[in-house]
Amino acid sequence: GWMQIYCRDNQEIMDSIIMAYKICEQLHVPMMVCFDGFVLSHTVMPVEIPDQKQVDAFLPSYVPHLQVDGPDPININPVMLADPRANAQGVSCPSYMGFRMRLQETLESAGDVILNVGREFGEVFGRSYECLLWKYRTEGADTILLTMGSLANEASLAVDALREKGWKAGVVALRVFRPFPAATLRQALSKAKHVVIFDKNISYGNEGATCTETKAALFEGGLRPTVTNYIVGLGGKNVAAADLEAATIKSVEQKGQVSTPQWIGVAV
């Protein structure tokens, strides 16, 4: 039930942590600010540190609507039952399913909050994040490399190389994975004939999580491009732009008739 944002570089990590506080305080739901292990977590790159006064203005003091350990501590009702019940204070508490439904409804509304906070951040700090996904050279593209996190940078280099060879390729990189931006993604992929998905994860026994979610989003919108899934970069394994370029060419030339998921860079 946590929101998830994925960062392409260390500047985005810094900025996203600041934004996450504001988003979570509005929705009362936690957020994961996710970034690649080793590629980002153990490397050094320049980052613009925002001014503390600007951060304080963007994030005023937070007054929680509930306090777990205040002057009058109470039971927080950690056990939820199948049906609504009153707590020790006589306040009606939702059922387990009712609570989960509220959580779902909150996450469904989270996209607008994420966009608004991203816009407000840009107005204050000069770097706008008013988006749920990033796009690169997608104008006129019929082949889309889809990924998230730091892989978006390598995918952009791969697209530059493909464009030089005459391929109409572009990049779509998910910034937000939960809530999943299905409608926004469908729009971004609406003109694509081929979608090549690079996942830095594997749902064992199936495929990469991004691939599964994307197929569902496409199906719901009646879109039927070829979809190929590649598993890359697990455990901090380096992923080269040339690998993504070659995989894309292979997928398109075989018109998506590639058994997936395929694994790139496996040493056994």
Q: What pLDDT digit, counting tens, does each position of 126-184 carry?
A: 999 999 999 999 999 999 999 999 999 999 999 999 999 999 999 999 999 999 999 99
Dihedral over Cα of 222, 211, 174, 230: its sign = negative
Report the CATH fold assignment for 133-263.
Answer: Rossmann fold (3.40.50)
7-47 pLDDT per residue, tens: 999 999 999 999 999 999 999 999 999 999 888 988 889 99
Share of the chain above pLDDT 70, in %: 97
- Residue 242, pLDDT > 70, answer yes
Residues 6 or more apart in contact with residue 232 via CB below 8 angstroms: 151, 198, 199, 200, 239, 243, 244, 263, 264, 265
Residues 6 or more apart in contact with residue 43 via CB below 8 angstroms: 10
**Cis peptide upstream of residue 50 (ω within 30 degrees of 0):** no
Cα angle for residues 148, 151, 153 (degrees, 5° grid): 110
- Where is average pLDDT lowest: 105-114, 191-200, 225-234, 257-266? 257-266
**Cis peptide upstream of residue 179 (ω within 30 degrees of 0):** yes
Q: In what order do the strands lie in the sheet with 262-263?
A: 133-136, 169-174, 143-148, 194-199, 226-231, 262-263
- Residue 51, pLDDT > 70, answer yes
Q: How far apart are CA 199 and CA 209, in angstroms?
A: 7
- CATH 3.40.50.970 is right for the domain spanning 3-70+80-125: yes
| DSSP reduced 3-state for 213 | helix
Query: How much is the pLDDT for 81?
Result: 80
Residues of the chain with CATH 3.40.50.920: 133-263
Cα angle for residues 213, 95, 176 (degrees, 5° grid): 25
pLDDT band at 78 (very low <50, low <70, confident <90, very high): low
Q: What is the mean pLDDT of the chain?
A: 93
Q: How far apart are CA 117 and CA 5, in angstroms?
A: 13
- Where is average pLDDT lowest: 122-131, 133-142, 209-218, 251-260? 251-260
Query: How much is the pLDDT for 267?
Result: 77
Q: How far apart are CA 28 and CA 5, in angstroms?
A: 16
- Residue 74, pLDDT > 80, answer no
Q: Tell me the mean pLDDT in the region 239-253.
A: 97
The CA distances from residue 268 to 39, 111, 216, 238, 265, in Å, are 22, 41, 33, 16, 10
Residues of the chain with CATH 3.40.50.970: 3-70+80-125
| DSSP reduced 3-state for 51 | coil
> Residue 16 phi/psi, 5° resolution?
-70, -35
- Residue 75, pLDDT > 70, answer no
